[in-house]
Amino acid sequence: MGAPGSGKGTQAQRLVSQFGIPQISTGDILRKHRKDGTELGKRADAIMAKGLLVDDATMLDIIRDRVAQPDARQGFILDGFPRTQPQAEGLSTLMRELGTPIDSVVLFDVGVEELVRRISGRRTCSLCNKVFNIYSAPPASPATDCVAGSSEHQLFQRKDDEEATVTERLRVYEQNTRPVLSYYSDAGLLRTVSAEGSLEQITQRVLAALKDEAPVSAKPAAARPARAKAVRKPAPKRRKAPAKKKAVARKVVRRKAAKPARKAARPAAAKRRATRKARPAVRKVARKTRRVRRKSKRG
């Protein structure tokens, strides 16, 4: 994934030789249709010239046919696809049907100024389809490495790399493709690579990102703090509810226990009250007894 000019195609070509699996570039497939003058090519021509996107159903049909071909059995590198949310969801469904999950989604991160410089310098060889940049990655000199060293590259500038179309393609990327990134980061598949620097540096970063399997399981939680919180939020409520019940139950128990205690206390108080009431009588008896003793002593 990445904006136009972020170097997806160039790096995908380098990964082809590294992994021995094909690069599936939807842009290249459409350009081939256009060159061959097919019905699809004619339809796509006007859309591509304006920097807009070909419809999702057509793109998904193209991908379904292409990944079913024998050279893609061991895997493939998608380049320029998916570019919209429906394409990403359609791809997930297709991969599920085929039983081949997506391993990684690599995002090529490049600043806008650099993007414009790259796109305006981009040239493609009409014979071997290799992509060059007249500023940063021109063909080797002497330029005889085209078609197994038999001729010079025949470079041309893509029509949609002309300035007016580039601006529109960048806008379309921001509007349609950037939102798809969160779909893959939520799935823990997205690896962002700084795509500025030499071609070799970027290739090394991509390879390191592809090897980086550990964060796959760690990333989803980190990438979804809001969701993680949302999941955790109801838990304390559930924990509080039984706690309240217990507290109420304890109170009830205490009250129940207190009632017989109070009942038990009542007779004791009554006794005390009775004793208090009885005291003057006891004192009277004591006084009488003392008087009788004194009289008998005198007598």
Contact flag: residue 24 with ligand AMP (CB under 6 A)? no
Of 63 and 223, nearer to ligand AMP (C-beta) is: 63
Among 3, 54, 115, 137, binds ligand AMP (CB under 6 A): 54
Pairing of β 155-156 and β 122-125: antiparallel
The residues that are catalytic are 8, 83, 122, 158, 169
Q: How far apart are CA 22 and CA 15, in angstroms?
A: 9
3 lines the binding site for ligand AMP (CB under 6 A): no
Q: Verify binding: residue 83, ligand AMP, rule CB under 6 A.
A: yes
Count interface residues toward ligand AMP (CB under 6 A).
17
User: Does a cis peptide bond (omega within 30 degrees of 0) precede residue 142?
Assistant: yes
Distances (CA, A) of 275 to 262, 279, 284: 20, 6, 14
Q: Which of 2, 3, 4, 76 binds ligand AMP (CB under 6 A)?
A: 4
Question: Can you give 231-283 as a three-state secondary structure string?
Answer: HHCHHHHHHHHHHHHHHHHHHHHHHHHHHHHHHHHHHHHHHHHHHHHHHHHHH
| Residue whose Cβ sits closest to ligand AMP | 27
| The token pair that represents 286 in the structure block | 């004591």
Query: Which one of 77-85, 115-123, 126-134, 138-146 is the stretch in contact with ligand AMP (CB under 6 A)?
Result: 77-85
User: Alpha helix locations (H) across the chain?
Assistant: 8-19, 26-36, 39-50, 56-67, 85-98, 112-121, 163-172, 180-186, 199-211, 214-223, 225-232, 234-298
* Cβ(132)–Cβ(139) below 8 Å: yes
Per CB under 6 A, does 7 bind ligand AMP?
no
Dihedral pair phi/psi, residue 188, rounded to 5° = 75, 20
34 binds ligand AMP (CB under 6 A): no
Segment near ligand AMP (CB under 6 A); pick from 23-31, 121-129, 225-233, 244-252: 23-31
Residue of 1, 48, 110, 131 interacting with ligand AMP (CB under 6 A): 48
Tokens of 282: 């006891």
Closer to ligand AMP by CB, 117 or 224: give it: 117
From residue 193 to residue 232, what is the string marking binding to ligand AMP with x (rule CB under 6 A)?
A: ----------------------------------------
Any contact of residue 160 with ligand AMP (CB under 6 A)? yes
- Among 7, 51, 90, 188, the residue binding ligand AMP under the rule CB under 6 A is 51
Give the footprint of ligand AMP on this chain (CB under 6 A).
4, 26-27, 30, 47-48, 51-54, 59, 80-81, 83, 87, 160, 169
